[in-house]
Amino acid sequence: MPYQSQAPFPHTRFRRTRQSPQIRALVQENTLGVGDLIWPVFVRDGEGVEEPVASMPGVMRRSVDKIVDAAREAADLGIPVICLFPYTDPALKTSGCEEAWNPDNLSNRATRAIKDAGIDIAVMSDVALDPYNADGHDGFVVDGKIVNDETVEALVKQALEQARAGVDIIGPSDMMDGRIGAMRAALEAEGFKDTMLLSYSAKYASAFYGPFRDAVGASGALKGDKTTYQMNPGNTDEALRLIERDLSEGADMVMVKPGMPYLDICRRVKERFAVPTYAYQVSGEYAMIQAAALNGWIDGEKAMMESLLCFKRAGCDGILTYFAPAAAKKLHGVR
Ligand code: PBG
């Protein structure tokens, strides 16, 4: 016997509200806007340099002057935030990581250049020692262990220099314990009352960071892995506890990272805390979509837009994504 639906068919026909683009738009619950995008960019030294990152097709390392051009382009597209990651000269990487709080390091120079150019875009920075560390870790390594409290002191110095350079949103991505409270106290003490902290609260020890480590030149340097400070991909409750802790220490916004494999975490965080929640669609996620698209295996543009919309559906208020300019152009109908 053919299957007989028990649903009140044809009273309920779900296809009625899918019949045309107009009706589909009318009933759509979640949308992506340019205001949801944060654009991560890689800064390197030199002048007039735009150098492709091999493992991230379409992504460049740019010298400071080119970063200013990129920031202007992003602002013109309506992208609200640009996030700076330095590719540091290997000669400047030490086990003491002193370059991290050099007021004239690449990240701070790029921040000042964007601010001096008067571009209407918020600048976000990254706080962690890995771009400056001889062994590629986010914290100091002493006798083979990543030491927490000494690292936090260094991160506070790094964050203060970023605030002095004019950063609007500080993004601690190091996963040391107690860093948010320490940074918030230092920022308040130094009069940086409006400097925001977007904490990478729930950051997992992920294989999806591979291309980023190439982009910042940390892959060769990294000794071992980051599993003693980044989260175990098997956990969720811990993510909620980390977020609760960071909010109580003074975070304004929180982040889940990576993005696509962790949408369940985004949903739980948003439902539990109802605070500004972001996801980082990381380098490996970007590389997978680009690689498949370049091989003609998927429609890259559609996959990009679908992946970004899914973050909104999962409860995120915004997304850090290497696709930011491409997505903004698509949203504006620019080809
Ligand atoms: C490290 C940092 C990483 C990323 C942002 N900040 C890599 C890591 O933890 O090893 C990854 C971003 C990406 O993969 O796009 N402080």
CATH number at residue 170: 3.20.20.70
pLDDT, residue 12, reads 87
Pocket test for ligand 1, best of 107, 203, 209 (most atoms within 8 A of CB): 209
Tell me the pLDDT of the chain averaged across its residues: 96
Q: Bridge partners of 81? A: 38, 122
Residue 291: pLDDT above 80?
Answer: yes
DSSP string, 74-98: HHHTT--EEEEEE---GGG-BSS-G
Considering the candidates 66, 93, 226, 257, report the single residue annotated as catalytic. Answer: 257
* 326 within a domain of the structure (yes/no): yes
Instruction: Render pLDDT for 213-261 as a digit per residue (tens, 0 to 9).
Output: 888 887 777 888 999 999 999 999 999 999 999 999 999 999 999 999 9
pLDDT, residue 174, reads 97
* 4 within a domain of the structure (yes/no): no
* 243 within a domain of the structure (yes/no): yes
User: What per-residue string of b and e applies to 209-218 under the rule 16 or more CB within 10 Å gives b?
Assistant: bebbbbbbbb
Centre of ligand 1 to C-alpha 212, Å, is 6
Instruction: Render pLDDT for 140-196 as a digit per residue (tens, 0 to 9).
Output: 999 999 999 999 999 999 999 999 999 999 999 999 999 999 999 999 999 999 999
Considering the candidates 203, 270, 312, 330, report the single residue annotated as catalytic. Answer: 203
Centre of ligand 1 to C-alpha 136, Å, is 11
What residue numbers bound the domain in which 39 lies? Answer: 32-332
Instruction: Render pLDDT for 43-90 as a digit per residue (tens, 0 to 9).
Output: 999 999 999 999 999 999 999 999 999 999 999 999 999 999 999 999
Q: For ligand 1, atom 5, which residue shows the shortest CA distance?
A: 173
> E strands along the chain, which residues?
37-44, 50-52, 60-63, 81-86, 122-127, 141-142, 145-146, 169-172, 196-203, 253-257, 277-281, 318-321
ipTM over 0.95: yes
Q: Which helix (H) or strand (E) holds 229?
A: none
Residue 8: pLDDT above 90?
Answer: no
The answer to whether 284 and 208 have CB atoms below 8 angstroms apart is yes
Which whole number is the average pLDDT over 286-300? 98
Residue 309: pLDDT above 80?
Answer: yes
Residue 278 DSSP symbol: E
Kindly indicate the confidence band of residue 5, based on its pLDDT and cuts at 50, 70 and 90.
low
List, in order, residues 6 or more apart from 61 with CB less than 8 Å away: 42, 43, 44, 49, 50, 51, 53, 87, 215
How would you class 180 by CB atoms within 10 Å of its CB: exposed for 0-12, middle for 13-18, buried for 19 or more?
A: buried
Q: Token digits for 245?
A: 């802790």
Residue 4: pLDDT above 70?
Answer: no
Residues with CB under 6 A from ligand 1: 126, 128, 130, 138, 173, 209, 212-213, 226, 282-283
pLDDT, residue 7, reads 66
Centre of ligand 1 to C-alpha 78, Å, is 25
Helix 300-313 crosses helix 263-273 at what angle (to 10 degrees)?
Answer: 30
Residue 335: pLDDT above 80?
Answer: no
Centre of ligand 1 to C-alpha 112, Å, is 23
**Nearest atom (ligand 1) to Cα of 128:** 16
Say how many Å lie between the first and final Cα of the chain, rounded: 52
Pocket test for ligand 1, best of 42, 59, 87, 130 (most atoms within 8 A of CB): 130
* 22 within a domain of the structure (yes/no): no
Kindly indicate the confidence band of residue 9, based on its pLDDT and cuts at 50, 70 and 90.
confident
Cα separation, 169 vs 157, in Å, equals 16
pLDDT, residue 77, reads 98
- The number of folded domains in the chain is 1
The answer to whether 45 and 63 have CB atoms below 8 angstroms apart is yes
Residue 315: pLDDT above 70?
Answer: yes
Centre of ligand 1 to C-alpha 211, Å, is 9
Centre of ligand 1 to C-alpha 26, Å, is 38
Q: For ligand 1, atom 2, which residue shows the shortest CA distance?
A: 173
If one counts every other C-beta atom within 10 angstroms of the C-beta of residue 143, the result is 5
* 132 within a domain of the structure (yes/no): yes
pLDDT, residue 2, reads 65
Percentage of the chain lying above the pLDDT 90 cut = 92
Q: Token digits for 173?
A: 């991505």
Instruction: Render pLDDT for 91-109 as a digit per residue (tens, 0 to 9).
Output: 999 999 999 999 999 999 9
Q: Is 115 a catalytic residue?
A: no
* 59 within a domain of the structure (yes/no): yes
List, in order, residues 6 or more apart from 247 with CB less than 8 Å away: 254, 273, 275
**Nearest atom (ligand 1) to Cα of 281:** 15
Kindly indicate the confidence band of residue 203, based on its pLDDT and cuts at 50, 70 and 90.
very high
